Structure 1
């Protein structure tokens, strides 16, 4: 009995020591994990796992370490084990990442099952909504595939080469290649050397070496992703957070990324300064410029980000200052990673994402920027640019259709490689063109309320319609990838339309001036009312045509010139002031005066008649003996234009 108790004590002591050693290893691995030192964290977690210890937390962190190092095969194994052994209480993010790793392995059916579980757990997630749509995203990707002919880049190394940028007749790119220095600086995210910027003239006949980018831009830490102004004298680039040559860590001990700016003077890059919206507590990286160089795009995890990194824009003011960073919104950004933006000369935003439906890992996506809006369709550019691993830092020259991107696909020379390509067929984006305008009467110029404006395609099918408001205004949108007819119509008017061919998405104003349909006008109709004319008034006890009346009568004359068969009877009236006989004579003179004016303007007298009705057809109750205002009496001193045939 004593011997058994002694053995049990020894075993408990050994077990306790083993547990203590195991806890120390896990604590050390967790410390590396928190510092984003994923490579050493993986080594330690694996040692603990090989000793037979496991937990949900360990598997989460080990899977994430593989995932963020783009080792999707190993990440998939660990995530599967996590979800199989600890399915209770595991957050939806791990189902999403597991689905991503399965896609990178080409296991799309299993990936779909994992995404279904993810969607069921978080319906408010942008990614869940994208995948929950009734769409076959693989078919969409296949439809966009085959637009690029991919080639090699002969200056790749066995290290990591990525982030190509057009610069003069060549390229600037980022690499952790061995430059022959005895002092090697390594970062612990993936145990690779720190990145520097390199230069190569890709169209030169003496392409036998790659050189480091000059000046003081390269340091012993990371420099990557660049963008140059068109004149080649200003560069924005990504660098680790430095102060006086030393790294600066945030409260969590993380060295963040910042965007810096440098200016070239007398052939030397100098005046290196960080941008004012950088921060010690979050990263800002991967700059890109708009075609007019008035906007700077970048990726960041700053407050307000939807996911692990979002794409933002910031205005570059004319005085060299900067505006406030603006998130591009959830049509672009998801809860995952959106990064490495590039804007082409045709205002197409390219970026990499693992949140939008793709083939696995980071895929390259594109969207057309219209009127500083980022609400258009987001297209996966398809194979062969995209693969089942990470594809990123896409750039293209819209004039030559040549470009470059980077990928960690398996057929590469190094960890990341640059590939060249030629675009053989452009992407086809949804093209939404806003159309606004006003509908008016062609002769009177009065606005027409309640007119219908329709968009009709070339197959004569109605696509959309709108009704003009109280100001005669309408607003519609058309698909500018195809030809469309925009047609305005209203009862009693001849429809009018304009054809719009395939165009860009710039807004267009189309005002319609509709003509009265005289075919529908009948005997006895008042043409003045049909034309929405102002009433033809006369001064008290006068029968000459007033200047304001001339304007309206000219519109009647225009209608008679357009319709040569149209005949009119001018009927004139007086107020009740004065005796009845006199008023009858005065009204006849007014009718004759109006007819004479129209004849003097070229209307044949055979097409006109005139008759006065005195005070027999008053429009109000201002009869004899009733006291009325001048304005009320004025309403009765008028001429009308009745259609005869």
Structure 2
């Protein structure tokens, strides 16, 4: 079930101290690092079945099955890993979630993704999941647009990676690459190495496949070709082998490169590797732009964000190449993006297990923006995508017919090629409108004549507008993109806020409330409101000052330093959880902590008073017995600062 998508494996040294198992473990470790997973699985599993447990052991067992797309078994071993209740790298929450989705356990998968979101920081995948928690609904919306069927060219082995070549379909297969005595076996899959086959397309049928070219096929891997429109040039993936000589990287691995061949008198000749290949990283799965001036490919070259990224490179008129360019975080994530294909409509189709999907690799599409960059990936939905690996999508835009590859259940071999007809075009021209109304934060009145400025994620000004009598503004924007909105008007404090547009066409609302630069203060006013200072929040069952609360308290202190005769009453509140008596005591301690902090930072004790109010003044519905979110409960855990004397 292994495709040639590239994975950087960072394998830590084993920490097991079980002497009797050291020989087996060392053997498995060597095989694992050389990508020979089948033998490694057997060794690891024998050790585990004897009752030995460690995070390293279960990580490697889970990874071995995960990277071979055997998700039912990866779920088994990742479950064992998490049952140890030990700290694991955030990546394992992601792999576990992907495996769970592949077996249909979406609820637990979402739980693991939430944990991944919390632990992984500012990763691309974290943001994608946080911004698209309703991804299953979006995928459902995109589904039902294809009619698919298994193709007649499938074998009991690996069949994938098809390309159009005139009236033929050229594809990758491990069905046989030699006789009984000459067949070479790939230790990754225990199958023959891949080679290229061709099948004539006759209507909706494919005729019996034959080997594509003896000049192209070698004793190692050949895969995923692409052809120019005139049929005279092809690009394809091959192991790092040229003129019969195999080259390895510093770790002894035979990696992948892209080669070019030209057709002369019906023979593929002048086979040369492309100049941006390397012995130390892989480059594979070429695809051509409609004008054939740009080559797209997958690689784990330096600068790659994840396991493999999609790149592009210019093909110059003299046949030379420019410099590889990473397509960026609109397409690439910390996981795997691979198998690119560019349609005649200049749409990028690719496979990914980093964007929100149904499990394993899913197929996504992206339409070039006005600046010709691909920035927004859309899941093409079922039945093209499944909970298994789905990849290597190609389509003829004239006939709306095409092919993709999958290792889903019900197939003939490990990977199979499926034909499809696109019944309905996906709406990929996604446009958003950012809209809002500028109002006064105190009296909620509409503010006309305010200057509203739209900036991109790097704070470059893009557009600006002045609000009319209704105080409204609107900007046309891209979908699923971060922007900053700034509003300013004389006598008001300028305010800037971020907004991320929704991933589908429509409207993203972002109202703006401005506070006056000079605001009237009177006895009975709450400083937190008057001076636009956020409430002082406490964690559940705690009364210590949080770091974010300390910043806001410092604002209160600065105001009191500005008005030395000002006295305030500190009022502390809890949520409704725990008993009434406990909450009363907790709020008293919180008020006391707040006052002590302010005294410590220079406010005289005779200027401060306060007490706790427990759960007696909730500001929302979250009373005893009412189910509320943590965020709703937190709104009730607060401190207020009421002016009692000026």
Tell me the TM-score normalised to structure 2 length. Answer: 0.64
Please name the residue that 1:264 is paired with: 263
Moved more, 423-432 or 36-45: 423-432
The answer to whether the 8 A contact 2:150-2:411 is kept is no
Q: 1:186 to 1:180 in 2, by over 3 A?
A: closer
The partner residue of 1:101 within 94, 99, 102 is 99
The answer to whether the 8 A contact 1:92-1:121 is kept is yes
Query: Which whole-Å CA distance do the structure 2 matches of 1:59 and 1:432 have between them?
Result: 45
Alignment map for 1:202-241 (pairs within 5 Å): 202-203=201-202, 208-241=207-240
Query: Which whole-Å CA distance do the structure 2 matches of 1:355 and 1:116 have between them?
Result: 15
Moved more, 206-215 or 47-56: 206-215
Query: Which whole-Å CA distance do the structure 2 matches of 1:206 and 1:139 have between them?
Result: 35
Query: Which whole-Å CA distance do the structure 1 matches of 2:153 and 2:305 have between them?
Result: 37
The partner residue of 1:90 within 85, 88, 91 is 88
Please name the residue that 1:152 is paired with: 150
Deviations 1:166-189 (A, max 9, x none): 010110000000366222111111
Please name the residue that 2:353 is paired with: 354
Alignment map for 1:261-410 (pairs within 5 Å): 261-410=260-409
Alignment map for 1:416-431 (pairs within 5 Å): 416-431=415-430
Cα displacement (A) at 1:93: 0.2
Query: Which whole-Å CA distance do the structure 2 matches of 1:372 and 1:343 have between them?
Result: 17
Q: 1:173 to 1:118 in 2, by over 3 A?
A: same
The answer to whether the 8 A contact 2:172-2:194 is kept is yes
Deviations 1:430-452 (A, max 9, x none): 34599xxxxxxxxxxxxxxx9x9
The answer to whether the 8 A contact 2:177-2:183 is kept is no
Query: Which whole-Å CA distance do the structure 1 matches of 2:340 and 2:374 have between them?
Result: 16
Query: Which whole-Å CA distance do the structure 1 matches of 2:20 and 2:425 have between them?
Result: 59
Cα displacement (A) at 1:53: 1.7
Query: Which whole-Å CA distance do the structure 2 matches of 1:295 and 1:433 have between them?
Result: 29
Question: Please, which runs of 5 or more residues in structure 2 have no aligned partner?
Answer: 1-16, 434-448, 454-462, 467-473, 480-646
Which of these two proteins has the greater Rg computed from alpha carbons? 1
Q: 1:324 to 1:184 in 2, by over 3 A?
A: same
Cα displacement (A) at 1:371: 4.0
Query: Which whole-Å CA distance do the structure 1 matches of 2:186 and 2:307 have between them?
Result: 21
Q: 1:241 to 1:66 in 2, by over 3 A?
A: same
Cα displacement (A) at 1:83: 1.2
The answer to whether the 8 A contact 2:152-2:205 is kept is no
Query: Which whole-Å CA distance do the structure 1 matches of 2:432 and 2:63 have between them?
Result: 44
The answer to whether the 8 A contact 2:178-2:184 is kept is no
Report the 3-state secondary structure (helix = DSSP H, G, I; strand = E; otherwise coil) of the residue aligned with 2:312: strand
The answer to whether the 8 A contact 2:331-2:375 is kept is no
Query: Which whole-Å CA distance do the structure 2 matches of 1:433 and 1:114 have between them?
Result: 31
Cα displacement (A) at 1:118: 0.6
Report the 3-state secondary structure (helix = DSSP H, G, I; strand = E; otherwise coil) of the residue aligned with 1:201: strand
The answer to whether the 8 A contact 2:201-2:207 is kept is no
The partner residue of 1:123 within 121, 124, 141 is 121
The answer to whether the 8 A contact 1:199-1:213 is kept is yes
The answer to whether the 8 A contact 1:332-1:374 is kept is no
Query: Which whole-Å CA distance do the structure 2 matches of 1:166 and 1:207 have between them?
Result: 12
The answer to whether the 8 A contact 1:377-1:430 is kept is no
Query: Which whole-Å CA distance do the structure 2 matches of 1:72 and 1:207 have between them?
Result: 31
Report the 3-state secondary structure (helix = DSSP H, G, I; strand = E; otherwise coil) of the residue aligned with 1:64: helix
The partner residue of 2:139 within 136, 141, 153 is 141
Alignment map for 1:152-231 (pairs within 5 Å): 152-178=150-176, 181-182=179-180, 183-203=182-202, 208-231=207-230
Report the 3-state secondary structure (helix = DSSP H, G, I; strand = E; otherwise coil) of the residue aligned with 1:422: strand
Query: Which whole-Å CA distance do the structure 2 matches of 1:372 and 1:151 have between them?
Result: 37
Cα displacement (A) at 1:377: 2.8
Report the 3-state secondary structure (helix = DSSP H, G, I; strand = E; otherwise coil) of the residue aligned with 1:334: coil
Deviations 1:171-227 (A, max 9, x none): 000000036622211111121110000000021799652110124110010000010
The answer to whether the 8 A contact 1:236-1:261 is kept is yes
Cα displacement (A) at 1:370: 2.9
The answer to whether the 8 A contact 1:430-1:479 is kept is no
Cα displacement (A) at 1:289: 0.4
Q: 1:372 to 1:264 in 2, by over 3 A?
A: farther
Q: 1:433 to 1:230 in 2, by over 3 A?
A: farther
Q: 1:179 to 1:254 in 2, by over 3 A?
A: closer
Report the 3-state secondary structure (helix = DSSP H, G, I; strand = E; otherwise coil) of the residue aligned with 1:111: helix
Cα displacement (A) at 1:59: 1.1
1:35 maps onto 2:16 in alignment: no
Cα displacement (A) at 1:133: 1.7
In angstroms, what is the RMSD of aligned CA positions? Answer: 2.7
The answer to whether the 8 A contact 1:155-1:210 is kept is yes
Cα displacement (A) at 1:55: 1.5
Moved more, 133-142 or 369-378: 369-378
Question: Please, which runs of 5 or more residues in structure 1 have no aligned partner?
Answer: 1-17, 435-449, 455-463, 468-474, 481-645
Cα displacement (A) at 1:230: 0.4
Query: Which whole-Å CA distance do the structure 2 matches of 1:376 and 1:310 have between them?
Result: 14
Report the 3-state secondary structure (helix = DSSP H, G, I; strand = E; otherwise coil) of the residue aligned with 1:226: strand
The answer to whether the 8 A contact 1:377-1:429 is kept is no
Query: Which whole-Å CA distance do the structure 1 matches of 2:21 and 2:141 have between them?
Result: 52
Instruction: Count residues in correspondence.
Output: 433
Query: Which whole-Å CA distance do the structure 1 matches of 2:126 and 2:208 have between them?
Result: 47
Cα displacement (A) at 1:466: 4.2
The answer to whether the 8 A contact 2:172-2:195 is kept is yes
Q: 1:347 to 1:207 in 2, by over 3 A?
A: closer
Query: Which whole-Å CA distance do the structure 1 matches of 2:128 and 2:72 have between them?
Result: 24
Q: 1:57 to 1:225 in 2, by over 3 A?
A: same
Moved more, 133-142 or 266-275: 133-142
Please name the residue that 1:602 is paired with: none
Q: 1:209 to 1:54 in 2, by over 3 A?
A: same
